Amino acid sequence: MNRHGVAPHRVLSRGRGYDPRIPHVPEDHAMLSTVHILGISGSLRAHSTNTGLLRAAAGALPPDTELEIVTLHGIPLYNQDEELAPVDAVRSFKSKIRAADAILFAVPEYNYGVAGVLKNAIDWASRPPTDNAWSEKPVAMVGASVGMMGSGRAQMHLRHSFVTLNMRPLSQPEVQVTFNSKKFDAQGNLTDPDVREHVRALLLALVAWTRLLRGEPSTPK
């Protein structure tokens, strides 16, 4: 494991093309369908480094890939009494999940665990059990923290949830950014080139995993 590491906010970015520095990217990718990734930040903070990781991902996309970033503002605390008729923010969030080909979580860690705002949103989108928006979605994680664990414990907790959610988690690579104050600026933008390359490698793996699961070649025949 390497340690280098719905609402109003929406960014949609597309891959810029072939980069010869990155392995396994096809030179002729005209026959590949677009992979739409939904990036979900588990932080509400304006200058979150975890949201910054998603912005970095938007600038490092493989060809034929697009990333839509959403934050979790406006999603209320989960209440089972309301799950059959949720508020608009929850309905919109679930619709975005269903429309996505894959999910990329940016995972903060608090007190050795998953941030409450993220777990709450995950619970909403999983309910009721007959309407689990996460089911069979390929999923990967990135995360940053102030200390030496890089949100690794929170990411491991989420892997347990992925089992019951019937998601399809990517095992490797992992992006767990340590000592984030040294690798992001004051606005939460990633400044570390090594971390950026790890994010790029994870995106390549997630796209290949997504295509494999839906029965497509990772490269054109």
Q: What is the pLDDT of residue 31?
A: 63
Q: Which CATH number is 173's domain given?
A: 3.40.50.360
Does residue 25 sit within a domain? no
User: In 3D, which of 175, 109, 162 has the Cα closest to residue 135?
Assistant: 162
Is the model's pLDDT at 79 over the cut of 90? Answer: yes
User: In 3D, which of 171, 160, 96 has the Cα closest to residue 134?
Assistant: 96
Confidence of residue 22 (pLDDT cuts 50, 70, 90): very low
Cα 102 from Cα 167, distance rounded (Å): 10
Mean pLDDT of 44-58: 97
Does residue 5 sit within a domain? no
Q: What is the pLDDT of residue 81?
A: 97
Digit-coded pLDDT (tens) for 137-181: 999 999 999 999 899 999 999 999 999 999 999 999 999 999 999
Does residue 1 sit within a domain? no
Full domain range(s) for residue 105:
10-16+32-213
Structural domains counted in the chain? 1
Decide: 15 and 78 in contact? Cβ < 8 Å.
Answer: no
